[in-house]
Amino acid sequence: MQRLFSLVDHSSHRLYRAVSTSALPIIQNPDINLFSCTRQIKELSKLGRIDEARRVFDDMIQRDTFSWNAMITGYAQNGHIDEARVLFDAFLGKDVRSWTTMITGYAKLGLVDEARLLFGQMPVRNIISWNAMISGYVENGDIISARNLFDEMPERDVASWNTILRWYCHSYQMIDACHLFDKMTEKNLVSWSTMIAGYTNNSEYEKAWQIFREMRQNQVLVDQFVLVVTLTAVTNLNDSNLVDTLQTLAIKTSFVKDVVVGTAFLNAYARNGLIDYVKKFFKTMTDRNDFTWSTMISTLSQSGKMNEAIALYETIPDKTVNTQTAMLTSYGQHGKVNEARYLFDQISNPNMIAWNAMLTGYMQNCMVKEAWEFFRRMPNHNAVSWAAMISGFAQSGMNEEALKFFSELHQLEYAPSHSCLTSAIFACTNISSFEMGTQIHAVAIKTAAAFNSFVGNALITMYAKCRKTEDVSRAFSTVRLKDVVSWNSLVAGLSLNYLLDDATNVFRKMPKKDVVSWTSIISAYVQGGHEHKAFELFVEMLSTATIPNSSTIASLLSACASMGSARLGRQIHGFAFNLGLDSVLFVGNSLINMYFKCGSLDAFKVFDEMFDRDIVTWNTVLSGAAQQGFGKEAVEIFEQMMADGVLPNQASFIGLLCACSHAGLVEEGWNYFISMSRHFGLEPMEPHYACMVDLLGRAGRLYEAEELIERMPIEPDSVVFAALLAACRIHKNVDLGRKVAEKLFQMDPQNAGNYILLSNIYASLGMWEKVGEIRKVMKERGVTKEPGCSWIQMRNKVHTFITGDRMHEQTEQIHSKLKELFCQLQATGYVPDANFVLHDVEEEQKESVLLYHSEKLALAFGLLNTPKGAPLQIMKNLRICGDCHNFAKFLSDITSRKIVIRDGNRFHHFSNGICSCGDYW
């Protein structure tokens, strides 16, 4: 009340105007053109020339109710609520419209309490007054008061219902909106269009389409807005048939000629990938606006027809800021940043959209420095500007900078957009920053953005990466509209935290599954070591007519690699070829990895046929060549990589040095090791030193390897010392071996491999007492040796063998076959190497022990169960012993078979009595 009284007493000038106006009587005089003056007041008010309108009002000799209300409305509409109130209070003949105008004016300025007080003082109210007050509450975000007042209304019209309905839809409360909509006794076009727009904005496109169909069934005529918003819904359903249906309706109602509707159809067909039809439709359009031209430029650009986009741009008769912005955006998306900047500089008065388009262009092309400088030059910033910077930093791996920018935005007390929040959460995810992530979550809650699907899905992923499974579920439950992305994020989050059963339960409950859903659960089983289950799910996925994407194929290839199944891998390769996915870069990389992991040299063929390669491609083939024992080939590939202008990284040198080590290329390895820091600015890390120690050690240069370790600028880890110990075993250097082993026992006391290596050195020198001491130490420390195990896949079944195994159903035939082979091989020059029997037993017993090593059992089984001449592939968990290596060489010769054995370190390809490793392993 105090504010209301104070409104009158502002200045003597205002008091004078109030008194003078109140003194004028309301006289109806036919000789005075009241209508003309009142109309003039309204027109001037609409133009914002409120002082001129007031002069017309003051000059009027006679005024009627319409004149007074016109002047009060003019003040209220132009934000001069105090002047409006002075006039309102002075007006003795105020009617319902006068009161309603003031209520609307107060509400428009956010003074909803003043509006409510005035509403309570009204002597008489009509339905328009009630609607004005309800709208005031809604516009100021007080839906509870609005709904309470709505429920108190003595009578309602369709506008009353639509006001509440619009609020529910705008605030994404579609369940409440649906309930209200169903209760409406009368619906008009606004009611239907509000619901369609609400569902569309809420990404519930199918429900939007259902409402549109109900509207048509009720014979409600469409308008421009309904057609455009419904088009948006069906476009996101990716159903071109529905677009055709709407076009037929637009033709019947003549709306297809409307430029806004026509452009919406243009965009709809473009989004459905019908580029040729888009071109034809564009030519038929008789009327075009900026958005039409911009849509066409963007469509051509995004479909890879950049030259056509440029040619079209040149034909635009009047190039505006909007069309110029569309063109520079296309330049930026295609990496033509200089052309984009040239075009931007030609814009005489760029608007905020143009500034942001150029800023985004810089960030899209990882030109972070240029983007930052451009951002600082911008005259103003809006939510899009900040979002572009935050997103660009995060996408470029500059996550701390992204979060710093977000903090600055928050300090400026701007309400961050959904895009800003999503990008900031993404940055937290990249660096597993749980603390910062929870703070941003709190901001999202305060701004009501946590309910948004994009923000909610980002939170689910962030908490999953930070291993906060309870928060993952909580974030999922917060999302109001749980779209398929939300469900997929939850499945992926649970899988990431090894909650495979929970992930499967969620997957089965999903109301709708897409290819990402299937890929997520398939990948989860692959990562969990359940490859067979992953393939069962893949078959189930195909039964639902879901087409796999490149990520699905990559996951399945990873499963094949883990299983060592080249046969299954080739089937997936063929599947990828039929879908046209084999040309996708990371599918090609996965194929190379799969073939190498399966011991197949088809990996080189895939590499040679790839049109596009990245650093991952080169590193995969380098490490694969090293693992297969092709050291010289790895060196050639590295040199080809250099010739192609691809700079190596740390991983490149690990593969290269490993290849040199396995092939005995000592000098080459040294040169590459030195070049890391000298020519490429890459400081060697523990894995590189381990490779070099292995390289020197295998070559017998044990003390050089020891010296290299002592000169390391970083603290050597157990892997480095283990490489030296392995070399000591090869060369039977017991003194250095004992010294290195003691260090390893301190660093990694539970690693059985280190004890076994030292024990093997003692055994190879006949130091059986020392062997016994090692076994005793292992027993005291609770260290157990992993038994030698080999396996072979036969007709979709894996057959596993352990040294001396007699549990297999074909044991008798296997042992008989081995004895037969032993005799045949001896006749060709094979002599069992008893040095690899690490027990103090008689020579005859040593031969018997050697005969039943796990890889020999697997080889015999393979010979018994495969056609003559068929290749054999054996997997082994430990390093192959020298005798088994010789056995496989001789066997490949007398059986004319190719034999591949993958041991714990590498692949051995045996053919015609020769191994790919050159007996250097």
The whole-number pLDDT of residue 79 equals 85
Q: What is the pLDDT of residue 616?
A: 93
Summarised one tens digit per residue, pLDDT across range 343-393 is 899 888 888 989 999 999 888 888 888 988 999 899 888 888 888 888 888
Between CA 917 and CA 913 the distance in angstroms is: 12
3-state secondary structure 596-656: HHCCCCHHHHHHHHCCCCCHHHHHHHHHHHHHHCCHHHHHHHHHHHHHCCCCCCHHHHHHH
Which tokens in the block code for residue 151? 């429920």
Residue type, 798: V
Strand order in the sheet with 872-876: 797-802, 789-794, 872-876, 899-902, 907-911, 914-915
CA 117 and chain centroid, separation: 52
Roughly what angle, to the nearest 10 degrees, separates helices 96-108 and 65-77? 10
DSSP 8-class letter at 25: -
* 153-155-158 Cα angle (round to 5): 105
What is the H or E stretch that residue 802 is in? strand 797-802
Return the closest-CA partner of residue 462 out of 399, 546, 555. Answer: 399
User: 126 — phi, psi (to 5°)?
Assistant: -120, 180
Residue length, the chain? 921
Give the Cα separation of 703 and 725 in Å (integer).
Answer: 12
Sign of dihedral through CA atoms 844, 849, 855, 859? positive
| 3-state SS class at 447 | coil
**Per-residue model confidence (pLDDT) at position 834:** 58
CA 385 to chain centre: 22
Positions of the chain with pLDDT under 70 = 1-32, 480-481, 833-850, 921
Spatial contact of 649 and 622, defined as CB atoms under 8 Å apart: no
Q: Which position has the token pair 């796999």?
A: 548
CA distance 653 to 858: 35
Q: Which two tokens stand for residue 788?
A: 């030698």
Q: What is the pTM of this model?
A: 0.65
CB atoms closer than 10 angstroms to residue 612: 9
Which residues touch 214 (CB under 8 Å, ≥6 apart)?
A: 192
What secondary structure letter does DSSP report for 793?
E
Long-range contacts of 136-140 (CB under 8 A, 24+ apart): 136/103, 136/104, 136/106, 136/107, 136/108, 136/112, 137/107, 137/112, 138/163, 138/164, 138/166, 138/167, 139/107, 139/108, 140/107, 140/110, 140/112
Handedness of CA 910, 911, 916, 919 (dihedral sign): positive
Distance between CA atoms of residues 124 and 94, nearest Å: 11
Q: What pLDDT score was predicted for residue 866?
A: 92
A 10 A CB-CB count for 112 gives 21
CA Rg value for the chain = 39
- Dig out the tokens for 470 from the structure: 């309870």
Residues 6+ apart with CB under 8 A from 78: 45, 48, 50
- pLDDT tens column, 556-581: 999 999 888 888 999 999 989 998 88
What's the angle, vertex CA 624, arms to CA 618 and CA 625, rounded to 5? 90
- The dihedral region occupied by 555, where left means phi > 0, alpha psi between -120 and 50, and beta the remainder, is alpha
- H/E element holding 870? none
What is the helix (H) or strand (E) element at residue 328, kind and residue range? helix 321-333
Please say whether the beta carbons of 491 and 482 come within 8 A.
Answer: no
Residue-wise burial string across 185-220, b where 16 or more C-beta atoms lie within 10 A, e elsewhere: eebeebbbbbbbbbbbbbbbbebbbebbeebeeeeb
**CA torsion, points 338, 343, 349, 352, in degrees to nearest 10?**
-60
**Environment class of residue 245 by beta-carbon count within 10 Å: exposed (0-12), middle (13-18) or buried (19+)?**
middle
717: which residues sit within 8 A by CB, 6+ positions away? 686, 690, 747
Question: What's the CA gap between 143 and 673, in Å, rounded?
Answer: 70
Name the E strands within 681-779. Answer: none
One-letter amino acid at 392 equals G
pLDDT recorded at residue 173 = 79
From the number of C-beta atoms within 10 Å of its C-beta (0-12, 13-18, 19+), residue 627 rates as buried
Phi-psi region of 583 (alpha: psi -120 to 50; beta: other; left: phi over 0): alpha
Whole-number Å distance between alpha carbons of 706 and 684? 17
Burial of 682 (0-12, 13-18, 19+ CB in 10 A): middle
* Dist. CA 855–CA 385, nearest whole Å: 63
Residue with tokens 């990404």: 203
Q: Do the beta carbons of residue 614 and residue 584 sit within 8 Å?
A: no
Could you give the CA distance from residue 88 to residue 26 in angstroms, rounded to a whole number? 15
Angle at the Cα of 60 from the Cα atoms of 59 and 63, rounded to 5 degrees:
150
Q: What is the DSSP letter of 510?
A: -
Read off the tokens for 818.
């081995």
Report which secondary-structure segment, H or E, holds 185: none
- H/E stretch holding 801 reads strand 797-802
What is d(CA 563, CA 569) in angstroms, rounded to the nearest whole number?
10
In SS3 terms, 384-424 reads as HHHHHHHHHHHHCCCHHHHHHHHHHHHHCCCCCCHHHHHHH
